[in-house]
Amino acid sequence: MDMLSTLLSRWHDDPGGSYRRWFLWEERLKNFRGIRKGIAVVVDAIRADRLGRQYRDSALETVVRSVAEQRPVFRGADHAFLWKPKLRIPDIYENRANQLAFADFLDACSCCDTEPEVLRAIHQLDARRIKGLGPAAANLLYFLHPTIAPPFNTAIAKGYARLTGVRVPLGRWPAYLAMRRGMLDLTARYRSWLSNDLGAVASFLFDVGSDRYPAPPLDDEAGANAQLVWRQALETALLASTEAAVADRDDDLTHTEVQGWLRDLGHALGFSVWIASNDQGRPVSGGRLGDGCLTELPSGLREGAGADAIRLIDVLWLDATTQQVSAAFEVEHTTSIYSGIVRLLDLALGAGAGTAHGLYLVAPDDREADVRTQLARPAFSQIGELAVRFISYGALAKHRENMARFGSGSKAIEAIAKSL
């Protein structure tokens, strides 16, 4: 086994590495639909001349910040889009022609299906030479075409340079495309560990570039002493990485625990309960989160608009007789509040089902301000009509047993929810 195969194998199994912390993170796939919808909102806002002349509070900030919230590969993804007035970059806020070109780029990539079409859109944008608008925009493309456009940031570029010896200039699309070709070659060569989803190879490069793991010597014929030194450094790095995984595991357990509270409370109040399809097998309280819950959504939800998003809502309470949704809950422990809001909107606006008074964001007490900030964004102007409410972990923990014992219907949960 060559040294890079050794590193990939250890990375694959490392609980602290981004493969297990992010690529296999169940919330990752939940975020694709919301970000794609956010990109469509940005295109519409630009074409209607509603984006504004600054990044703050724009539809673009809403969707880019939702990307930046993904753990940990996209941390800092919003930096390239922040308006820097002294440098006049990125030049998509005050230059209307550039703004429209950016919208055309996003729209073309949203509508196309093939690699040549995506690359053509990139080349057309690059030909505009828009100051400050470089391949950081590929972080949006990744959520449109994960098998075509890999994520891009400084750490990924550093990781690529350390493994290949090829330096990737930041801010240049041709350099990004060359690196992309190299990433595809790495994926093909090491297909036992890397997925067609280019988030896998990007997260591997991110870990190397952010100093989580030492890069092996570039020369695979390096002497025995050099190989031994590298392997010892790798073992030390893996030990530290495993310790870093504890916090993420605690976050996942807490998220699942709160879903379990809502599941049990829903049953006690007489509802049928649906657990997000990708969470049903999670262990909780000696069993599985989906135990005793619906195994299939009612046909009206299963076949209606937004069905793919609705089945990923953390917890649904349905009237046991009519199978209408009485309450929907998104648990946002550390995950993107934006994506949870989008899923609730998909349910309320796409499927109807009488949910206007039963949409809840459930989060730690200290995230209430974050929830309010997100709901105040122009991108969620419709939210005021839907009466989305906030439930803190503290209130749920304090009152859930009494609600289960003495409550009936959804009035019990309404009593502890805050209007937003």
For 96-112, what is each residue's pLDDT tens digit?
999 999 999 999 999 99
DSSP 8-state assignment for residue 392: E
Q: Where are the domains of the chain?
A: 3-209, 250-419
pLDDT of residue 340: 83
The per-residue DSSP string of 111-179 comes to H--SHHHHHHHHHHHHHTT-TT--GGGHHHHHHH-TTT-----HHHHHHHHHHHS----TT-HHHHHHH
Q: Please check the confidence at residue 13 and state whether its pLDDT lies above 60.
A: yes
The more confident residue out of 187 and 345 is 187
The residue-averaged pLDDT of 30-51 equals: 91
Instruction: Count Cβ atoms below 10 Å from residue 87 Cβ, excluding itself.
Output: 10
Q: At what angle do helices 393-406 and 224-268 cross, to 10 degrees?
A: 40
The residue-averaged pLDDT of 272-295 equals: 92
**CA–CA distance, 8 with 62 (Å, rounded to integer):** 35
Q: What are phi and psi of 131, to 5 degrees?
A: -60, 125
**CA–CA distance, 157 with 167 (Å, rounded to integer):** 7
Q: What does pTM read for this prediction?
A: 0.79
Q: What is the pLDDT of residues 198-240, one digit of tens each?
A: 999 999 999 999 998 888 887 766 666 667 777 777 777 776 6
pLDDT of residue 327: 93
Residues in the chain: 420
**CA–CA distance, 179 with 181 (Å, rounded to integer):** 5
pLDDT of residue 353: 46
Q: Is residue 241 classed as helix, strand or coil in its secondary structure?
A: helix
**CA–CA distance, 188 with 271 (Å, rounded to integer):** 49
pLDDT of residue 33: 84
pLDDT of residue 220: 60
The residue-averaged pLDDT of 28-55 equals: 89
pLDDT of residue 354: 46
